[in-house]
C-alpha cells in the first residue's frame, strides 16, 4: 500500500501504539522497558508520551520506576484498535486519527484528492469546525460523540450520490438500535432523532465530473455520551446517554456502524437504488403520513409525506397543491 500522506495533527503512531498497548492490558502494570521495546521508543520517550496522554485526559497510573497501567479501558478511538476490530473488512485498512481537528470531512476531501483508497476513515475525538448540513456547524465536544468520515469511490452517477446519505442513515439507525435498544427516527434525508431531538446527522460531499463520481465522503456525527449541550442546543439535541442514562463504549458503536454501512454499501452497489429506497422507507417512520413543513429556500409549504420517489427524493402531498418532489430543503414536523 502506498505511504499515507502526512496530515498535520494526525495522532503520532507511537502515541497511538502506546495507548493501544495500555488499553489491551488495562489494570496490569507494564514496565517502561517493555513498553519501550514493544512500541519502539526509548524509556525516556515513554515517560514523555505518558505525560502527553495524561494531558489528553487519559488516566495513566503508575510511575517511571514501577511501570504504567490504566485503571480501566479508556474510550479513545485508537486507530490500531479500530483496525483490529475491522479485520476482514475492506473499510478501515487506512485510518487517520486526530485528538483534535477542524473537520473530518475537510480532511477526507483532502485525502480524496490525494488518491487515498476507498474505505479510508478519518476520525476525531473533537472537531473545532465540524460541518453540518446547509452551512450549519456540528457541535463536536471532545471524547463524547462519534465524529468520523468515510472516503468512497463508487461507480455512480453524481445524481445517485445523495442515496449514500440515506444509506448511512439506515446503517446508523440499525447500529444504534442493535447496540442500545433505542429506536431512533430517521428523517429524510439525513437526520437521526430521538423524542424529536437531534441524535445524529450525516453530511455527504463529493468530487464529480458531469457524468461520474470521482469520490464521495460520508461524514457521520452521533451524539453518544454527552450529558449536556450548550444552551442554544439543549432544546433541540440529545444523546444516547441522555436518553438511557447509560454510558456507551464508542468504539463498539463505531465498529457496528462501519460494518453495517460497508455491508449495506456493497448491497447497494450490487442491487441498485431500490435497495436503499426500500430500506429507508421501511425504517423511516417519517417517510409516510407525517405532517411536515418544507422550506426549500425559495418557498415554504405544508403537507403530508407520501413515500420516496425512485430516485430517493421525498414526496409530499401539499395541503394546497399537487404531490411534490422535495429535491432539497428543510423538512420539519408540524404537530
Ligand atoms: C447534519 O445533520 O447537519 C450533518 C452533521 C454531520 C456531522 C459530521 S461529524 C463528522 C463529519 N465531519 C464534519 O465536519 N461533519 C461530519
pLDDT in tens, 219-260: 999 999 999 999 999 999 999 999 999 999 999 999 999 999
Question: Is any atom of ligand 1 closer than 6 Å to the C-beta of 105?
Answer: yes
What atom in ligand 1 is closest to the CA of residue 133? Answer: 3
Cis peptide before 17 (omega within 30 of 0): no
State in Å: Cα 198 to ligand 1 middle. Answer: 12
Q: Is 89 helix (H, G, I), strand (E, B) or coil?
A: coil
Instruction: Using the predicted structure, report yes or no on whether residue 73 has a pLDDT greater than 80.
Output: no
Closest CA to 131 of 190, 214, 213: 190
Instruction: Using the predicted structure, report yes or no on whether residue 104 has a pLDDT greater than 70.
Output: yes
Closest CA to 212 of 159, 265, 266: 159
Instruction: Using the predicted structure, report yes or no on whether residue 184 has a pLDDT greater than 90.
Output: yes
Shortest-distance Cα residue to atom 10 of ligand 1 = 147
Beta partners for residue 68, in sequence order: 30, 62
Instruction: Using the predicted structure, report yes or no on whether residue 20 has a pLDDT greater than 70.
Output: yes
Cβ atoms of 212 and 101 closer than 8 Å: no
DSSP 2: P
**R_g (Cα) of the chain, nearest Å:** 21
Average pLDDT, the chain: 93
Cβ atoms of 91 and 150 closer than 8 Å: yes
Shortest-distance Cα residue to atom 9 of ligand 1 = 221
Residues 175 and 258: their CA atoms lie apart, in Å, by: 9
DSSP 101: B
* pLDDT value of position 3: 65
Neighbour-count burial for 145-168, b at 16+ CB within 10 Å, e otherwise: bbbbbbbbbbebebebbbbbbbbb
Residues 322 and 264: their CA atoms lie apart, in Å, by: 34
Instruction: Using the predicted structure, report yes or no on whether residue 131 has a pLDDT greater than 80.
Output: yes
State in Å: Cα 175 to ligand 1 middle. Answer: 18
Question: Is any atom of ligand 1 closer than 6 Å to the C-beta of 133?
Answer: yes
Q: Kindly report, residue by residue over 300-315, the tens digit of the pLDDT.
A: 999 999 999 999 999 9
Question: Is any atom of ligand 1 closer than 6 Å to the C-beta of 202?
Answer: yes
Prediction pTM value: 0.92
Cα of first residue to Cα of last residue in the chain, in angstroms, is 53
- Section 213-220 average pLDDT: 98
Substitution candidate for ligand 1 out of 97, 101, 147 with most atoms within 8 A of CB: 147
Residues 25 and 22: their CA atoms lie apart, in Å, by: 5
Amino acid at each position: 500500500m502506498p505511504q499515507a500522506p502526512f496530515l498535520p495533527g494526525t495522532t503520532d503512531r507511537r502515541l497511538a501504539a502506546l495507548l493501544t498497548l495500555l488499553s489491551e492490558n488495562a489494570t496490569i502494570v507494564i514496565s517502561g522497558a517493555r513498553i519501550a521495546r514493544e512500541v519502539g521508543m526509548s524509556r525516556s520517550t515513554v515517560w514523555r508520551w505518558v505525560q502527553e496522554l495524561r494531558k489528553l485526559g487519559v488516566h495513566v497510573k503508575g510511575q517511571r520506576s514501577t511501570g504504567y497501567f490504566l485503571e480501566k479501558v479508556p474510550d479513545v478511538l485508537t486507530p490500531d484498535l479500530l483496525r483490529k476490530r475491522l479485520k476482514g473488512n475492506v473499510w478501515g485498512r487506512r485510518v487517520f486519527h486526530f485528538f483534535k481537528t477542524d473537520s473530518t470531512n475537510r480532511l477526507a476531501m483532502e485525502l480524496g484528492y490525494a488518491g487515498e483508497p476507498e474505505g479510508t476513515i478519518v476520525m476525531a475525538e473533537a472537531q473545532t469546525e465540524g460541518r453540518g448540513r446547509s452551512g450549519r456547524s456540528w457541535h463536536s465536544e471532545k471524547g463524547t460523540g462519534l465524529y468520523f468520515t468515510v472516503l468512497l469511490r463508487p461507480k455512480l452517477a453524481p445524481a445517485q450520490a445523495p442515496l449514500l446519505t440515506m444509506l448511512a442513515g439506515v446503517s446508523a439507525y440499525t447500529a444504534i438500535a442493535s447496540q442500545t435498544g433505542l429506536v431512533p427516527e430517521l428523517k429524510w434525508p439525513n437526520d437521526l432523532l430521538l423524542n424529536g431531538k437531534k441524535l445524529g446527522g450525516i453530511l455527504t460531499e463529493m468530487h464529480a465530473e458531469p457524468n461520474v463520481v470521482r469520490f464521495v465522503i460520508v461524514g457521520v456525527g452521533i451524539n453518544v455520551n454527552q450529558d449536556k449541550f450548550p444552551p442554544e442546543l439543549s432544546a433541540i439535541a440529545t444523546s444516547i446517554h441522555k436518553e438511557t442514562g447509560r454510558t456507551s463504549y464508542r468504539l463498539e458503536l463505531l465498529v457496528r456502524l462501519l460494518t453495517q454501512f460497508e455491508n449495506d454499501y456493497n448491497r447497494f452497489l450490487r442491487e441498485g437504488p431500490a435497495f436503499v429506497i426500500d430500506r429507508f422507507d421501511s425504517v423511516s417512520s417519517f417517510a409516510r403520513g407525517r405532517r411536515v413543513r418544507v422550506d426549500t429556500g425559495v418557498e415554504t409549504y405544508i403537507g403530508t409525506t407520501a413515500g420516496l420517489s425512485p430516485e430517493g427524493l421525498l414526496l409530499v402531498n401539499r395541503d394546497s397543491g399537487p404531490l411534490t418532489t422535495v429535491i432539497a430543503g428543510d423538512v420539519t414536523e408540524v404537530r
